[in-house]
Amino acid sequence: MKILAFESSCDETAAAVVVDGRDVKSNIVSSQIAIHRLYGGVVPEIASRKHAEVISAITKEALETAGCGFKDIDAVAVTYAPGLIGALLVGVNFAKGLAMSLDVPLVPVHHLRSHIAANYIAHKELEPPFLCLVASGGHSHIVEVRSHTDFCVLGRTRDDAAGEAFDKAARSLGFPYPGGVFIDKAAHEGNAAAVVFPRPKVDGSPFDFSFSGLKTAVINYVHNAEQKGMEINKNDVAASFQQAVVDMLAARLMLAAERTGYKKIAVAGGVAANSGLRERLGADCAQPGYSLYMPPLSLCGDNGAMVGCQGYYEYLAGNTAGLELNACANMEIDSLK
Ligand code: KG4
Ligand code: ZN
Percent of the chain whose pLDDT exceeds 70 = 100
The amino acid occupying position 226 is E
Dist. CA 331–CA 39, nearest whole Å: 27
Q: State the pLDDT at residue 45.
A: 98
Residue 283 to residue 276: CA distance in whole angstroms? 11
Average pLDDT, the chain: 97
Q: Is the pLDDT of residue 142 over 80?
A: yes
pLDDT band at 336 (very low <50, low <70, confident <90, very high): confident
Segment 13-36, tens digit of pLDDT: 999 999 999 999 999 999 999 999
In order of their start, the domains of the chain are 2-116+301-316 (3.30.420.40), 128-298 (3.30.420.40)
At 239, the amino acid letter reads: A
- Position 1 scores a pLDDT of 98
What would the pLDDT profile of 54-111 be if each residue is shown by its tens digit?
Answer: 999 999 999 999 999 999 999 999 999 999 999 999 999 999 999 999 999 999 999 9
Closest CA to 136 of 272, 294, 31: 272
C-beta separation of 300 from 269 below 8 A: yes
Best residue for ligand 1 mutational test, from 30, 271, 298, 310 (most atoms within 8 Å of Cβ): 271
- Ligand 2 centre distance from Cα of residue 144 (Å): 18
Q: Which of 7, 8, 108, 93 is nearest to 50 (CA)?
A: 8
Q: What is the 3-state secondary structure (H, E, C) of 29-78?
A: EEECHHHHHCCCCCCHHHHHHHHHHHHHHHHHHHHHHHCCCHHHCCEEEE
Q: What is the pLDDT of residues 182-225, one digit of tens each?
A: 999 999 999 999 999 999 999 999 999 999 999 999 999 999 99
Give the mean pLDDT of 148-160: 98
Please, which residues have CB within 8 angstroms of residue 1's CB and are 6 or more apart in sequence?
Answer: 19, 20, 74, 75, 312, 315
- Mutational test site, ligand 1, from 181, 211, 242, max ligand atoms within 8 Å of CB: 181
Q: Kindly report the CA angle at 298 between 294 and 302, in degrees rounded to 5?
A: 95
Ramachandran angles phi, psi of 247, nearest 5°: -55, -45
| Ligand nearest to the Cα of 215, by number | 1
3-state class (DSSP) for residue 335: coil
Q: How many CB atoms lie within 10 A of CB 330?
A: 10
Q: What is the pLDDT of residue 248?
A: 98
Predicted confidence (pLDDT) per residue in 261-313, tens digit = 999 999 999 999 999 999 999 999 999 999 999 999 999 999 999 999 999 99
